[in-house]
Homo-oligomer: A and B are copies of this chain.
Amino acid sequence: MAQTPPARSGRRGGGGAARRAERTAVRFDCAPAIRRRIGTFDILDEEGLSLIEANAETVLEEIGVRFADNPGALARWREAGAEVRGEMVHIPRGLARRLCATAPGRFTQHARNPERSVEIGGTSLVLAPVYGPPFVRDLDGGRRYATMEDFRNFVRLGYMSKWLHHSGGTVCEPTDVPVNKRHLDMIEAHMTLSDKPFMGSVTDPTRAVDSVRMCEILFGKGFVSENTVMTSLININSPLTFDSVMMGALEVYAQANQACIISPFIVGGAMAPVTVAGTLTQVLAEVLAGVAYAQLVRPGAPVIFGTFVTSIDMNSGAPTFGTPEASKILYGAGQLARRLGLPYRSGGALCGAKLPDAQAGYESANTLNAALLGGVNFMLHACGWLEGGLVASFEKFVLDADQLGPLHALASGVDLSENGQGMEALREVGPGGHFLGCAHTQANYREAFWRSEVLDYKPFETWAEEGGRDSATLGQARVKRMLESYQRPPLDPAIEEALAAFIAERKAAEPDAFA
């Protein structure tokens, strides 16, 4: 299997124009995906895990799952040994888990810049930005419908964000582009404005096909046929329903050996039982059925055990984020995913806050911390999420992206080398002394402490003189600085032209649709 895209796709040895672009491009730090050198926090013991696993098998067998409007899927399930009644698929105990066994425990998603390729699974944690908001918000313009230019700006910010490993997918919904064509512009933006890995379209099987074809232009057809170059989000219509649009996209991707996150999307108490153990049971049943189905389509197709669960405010009916119940489910589902040997997706800088304020900070940090300790391997919504996912916030994007730094540092564990032990520092300084000037501190201080690039660390008086800015205002300044200094990563102009031609052809092929 080829490990790097061939040179003809133009990242390195492309034409002279590409080489010239590369020479003048601003270089940004980009951290490699997190390698976890710490353990996980496990909230369930063996007895609890076994109980939930047994209950999930009961759900699959007795209650069953619905594959709606999808005769092909029903045929596949029947052939695999499930009992199909109408659209309901009853999966005998153990069958789904056996089918899941062909899914890889980890896989590489290639980026057009090989330095940005990521391994998903095992001890790695890959961070990707917010996905799906129809609105954007910034301090200047307030809350408004998202446009394609907003989308491009988020891709630019993501490209320049050191702790973000992935360009994501629908970082916001570009509502000014027809709904049946916007996927083309979105994928083009990811391909041309960033060199990080990205996600494909899932809103229609034909759009998944377009995504694959655009990747063939970018990476080369041979490379795509042998390598995973997209990770796409397949939401399950909880409870226990697999609709034909999402399954159609899954079928396209699995057949092309492209990765899918198989992810229940659950507001607890509405789309799942109101209890943690009940929700975990449903999550496991749904993921088992979805992953098994991907393996029926193509054994060995890369998949991720997804869990997006939030709780509900029973007073208002609003989904709530960063809550303890959601954390418990995140921890428990991580254990279930690891027992299945699958990469795990959950977490994100989730919040219900309307503004990037203290609520946003508390709720986002609650979930970010749980995701790290819960063993998440792929974290969507890691930055930019606001107002329950209705809004992508520019300021919160950079504030969250900055807070992903601590996850890297925490995951590195404790350095127990002789230098890490610091005994010579303790001997040199002694009781009542000061460590700032000692040799050990001087030799280590640059790497010793994670440091925010956006939050305020200045003395009160300096901060007050500079206008007494809150975090959102500091974020606003950072967004402007970043976008002003943005430069595109180099790309072979021939590839850009081919992508543009493909998009033009596809856009011309059907009338605009807006719903």
Q: Which of A's residues lie within 8 Å of B, judged by CB?
A: 38-39, 41-44, 47-48, 51-52, 55, 58-59, 62-66, 88, 143, 237, 239-241, 268-282, 311-318, 320, 322-325, 327-328, 332, 352-366, 369-370, 373, 387, 390, 396, 399, 403, 405-410, 413-416, 419-423, 425-427, 429-436, 440-441, 444-446, 448-452, 455-460, 463-464, 468, 470-472, 475
In the complex, A390→B458 CA distance in Å?
13
The answer for the CA separation of A435 and B88 in the assembled complex, in Å, is 19
Contact A239 to B353, CB < 8 A, known contacts A362-B361, A450-B325: no
Does the CB pair A39–B42 fall under 8 Å?
A: yes
**How many angstroms from the CA of A271 to the CA of B421 in the assembled complex?**
15
Judge whether B356 and A445 touch: CB under 8 Å. Answer: no
Question: Which of the residues B240, B272, B352, B366 comes within 8 Å of A406, measured between beta carbons?
Answer: B366
| Closest partner residue, chain B, to A421 (CB atom) | B277
Report if A421-B281 is in contact (Cβ < 8 Å); known contacts: A270-B435, A275-B444.
Answer: yes
- 22 CB < 8 A contacts A-B: A38-B43, A44-B414, A51-B421, A63-B427, A63-B431, A240-B431, A269-B445, A273-B426, A274-B441, A275-B419, A276-B415, A281-B426, A313-B449, A323-B449, A332-B414, A354-B464, A355-B470, A357-B361, A358-B399, A358-B475, A362-B364, A362-B365
Q: How far is the CA of A446 from the CA of B274 in the complex (A)?
A: 10
| Contact (Cβ within 8 A) B282 A441 | no
**A281-B422 in contact (CB<8A):** yes
When C-beta atoms are compared, the residue in chain B nearest to A449 turns out to be B311
Are A43 and B325 neighbours in the complex by a CB distance under 8 Å? no
**Residues on the B chain within 8 Å of A320, using CB:** 449, 451-452, 457
Other-chain contact of A448, B325, B359, B421 (Cβ < 8 Å): B325
Chain B residues whose CB sits within 8 angstroms of the CB of A55 once the complex forms? 421, 423
Q: How far is the CA of A422 from the CA of B365 in the complex (A)?
A: 29
User: Do B471 and A357 touch (CB < 8 A)?
Assistant: yes
Which partner residue on chain B sits nearest A355 by CB separation? B470
Cβ-neighbour of A323 out of B406, B416, B429 (below 8 A):
B406
| A360 CB, nearest partner CB in chain B, Å | 5
**A63-B426, A470-B357 as given contacts; A434 in contact with B276, CB under 8 Å:** no
Q: How distant is the Cα of A302 from the Cα of B355 in the complex, in angstroms?
A: 46
Q: Are A357 and B358 in contact (CB under 8 A)?
A: yes
B420 touches A275 (CB 8 A): yes
Q: Return A4 CB to nearest CB of chain B, in Å.
A: 32
User: Are B352 and A278 neighbours in the complex by a CB distance under 8 Å?
Assistant: no
Q: From A332, which residue of chain B is reached at the shortest CB distance?
A: B414
Docked Cα-Cα span, A177 to B442, in Å, equals 43
CB distance from A117 to the nearest CB of B (A): 26
Collect the chain B residues with CB atoms within 8 Å of residue A359's CB.
Answer: 361, 399, 455-456, 470-471
Which residue in B282, B323, B360, B458 is a CB contact (below 8 Å) of A318?
B458
